[in-house]
Amino acid sequence: MANAVINKEGMYNDDESRELNIDGDWVSLNHFRDDLYNKFNKQISLMLDAKKPRISYTDKGRLEPRRAYRYKFSDQLFKKNQSIPTGDTTVIFLIDGSGSMNSCNRIEKCSAICSAFAKSVNDVTKNQIKFEVFVKSAPALTDDNYGGSFVTLTKVLSNVGIRNQHNDFDKILKLNTSCPFKLEDSKYNEHSFTSEFAVLPALRKYMAKNLTTKNAIVVNLTDGEAYCNLGEEYRSFGSKENGAMRTKYLNSVPHVTVIVGGGIEEGEAKKTYGENRVTCEDGNFVPKLFSMFMKMLESQYE
């Protein structure tokens, strides 16, 4: 068969006027992104407020005289100002780039979430919070040069590294569900199966080599179950394997999954993605998501 070649531009549409059906009303994708942007601004401001020093007490440091009477039953007599350094955490978004995300505006909603977050981080925090956005793909092709059937991670938005290389808030809104590969004799990129957490070994290697912060939070954006084949023997990768990979590779990394559409059953979602899940269709998903962020940040600095 013909060799697969990389074509990242094939992951984007030319049409800038896509519309979404939100609760029965048709709105432009830019309008939906801007609405999320306004909601994110409020929540990110709260994250910044959390950086302000908060008083806590410990067994060493500067003595707090008003607590001296406790010395017989407690050694927590010393004052400590503590803050949550959000700037020491990178938020990593993983967008499901499979073909099923092409229905019900799922890929558009994911791109709008990431675009709004990036724009808000830029405008509100002056990029104090680092972020990276990747698209997960399982190309519907095989190539011996890539070990047969394979999965990919493609960076599409970031405020880390070379300035202005991956920080176009509007370009990401043109994302489609084509994988970043095409056959060398074809005009069009191939479609993608659902790779989900099959990409985690590559992500952890990337994080170990490139992460500029001490900590990370992984935000997985998907419509449901994993389905792809791997390697020369076409080994099946489904929900069971997906859950195992999450346990192995994200056990020490705070993570949350945002379900965007799809019909994955609750029990299956819990086994596959764990407890930290929110549904995009829930009108309160933004405060719920940021509440999880805050708990994750606090746990990292306890």
Buried b (16+ CB within 10 A) or exposed e, 84-107: bebebbbbbbbbbbbbbbbebbbb
pLDDT (mean) for 271-289: 88
| Mean pLDDT estimate for the chain | 85
Instruction: Specify if 65 maps to a domain.
Output: no
| 77 φ/ψ angles, rounded to the nearest 5 degrees | -110, 0
From residue 40, give the alpha-carbon distance in Å to each of 164, 188, 206, 227: 22, 35, 27, 32
Task: Indicate whether 173 belongs to any domain.
Answer: yes
pLDDT at residue 249 is higher than 80: yes
Q: Is the pLDDT of residue 168 over 80?
A: yes
pLDDT at 298 (0 to 100): 74
pLDDT of residue 262 exceeding 80? no
Measured distance CA(136)–CA(177) in Å, rounded: 10
Q: Provide the pLDDT confidence category of residue 281 given band limits of 50, 70 and 90.
A: confident
116: which 2 tokens? 């709004």
In whole angstroms, give the CA distance from residue 178 to residue 219: 21
**pLDDT attached to residue 137:** 97
Query: Residue 164 belongs to a domain with what CATH number?
Result: 3.40.50.410
Q: Calculate helix-pair angle for 239-249, 200-210, nearest 10 degrees.
A: 20
User: Which ranges of the chain would DSSP assign to H, the alpha helix?
Assistant: 29-49, 106-125, 200-210, 239-249, 266-273, 285-300
What are 199-244's pLDDT values in tens digits? 999 999 999 999 988 889 999 999 988 899 999 988 999 989 999 9
The DSSP code sequence of 226-281 is: -BEEEBTTTEEE-HHHHHHHHHHHSTTS-EEEEE-S----HHHHHHHH-S-EEETT
Examine residue 120 and state whether it is found in any structural domain, yes or no: yes
Residue 67 resides in a domain: no
What's the pLDDT at 24? 77
Q: What is the pLDDT of residue 1?
A: 47
As a whole-number percent, the residues of the chain with pLDDT over 90 amount to 54
pLDDT digits (tens, 9 = 90+) for 292-302: 988 887 776 55
| Residue 16 domain boundaries | 4-49+84-300
| Of the ranges 43-57, 80-94, 140-154, the best mean pLDDT one | 140-154
Answer yes or no: is 66 within a domain: no
Residue 71 has pLDDT above 60, yes or no: no
What's the mean pLDDT in 274-292? 88
* 47 has pLDDT over 80: no
pTM for this prediction: 0.86
Predicted confidence at residue 66, as pLDDT, reads: 57
The total of structural domains in the chain comes to 1
Is residue 108 a part of any domain in this protein? yes
79 part of a folded domain? no
pLDDT tens, position by position, 74-115: 666 565 655 545 558 899 999 999 999 998 899 999 999 999
Q: Assign 191 a pLDDT band (cuts: 50, 70, 90).
A: very high
- Asked whether the predicted pLDDT for residue 61 surpasses 70, the reply is no
Residue 55 lies in a domain: no
CA-to-CA dists, residue 195 to 98, 110, 226, 269, angstroms: 8, 16, 6, 16
Residues across the chain: 302
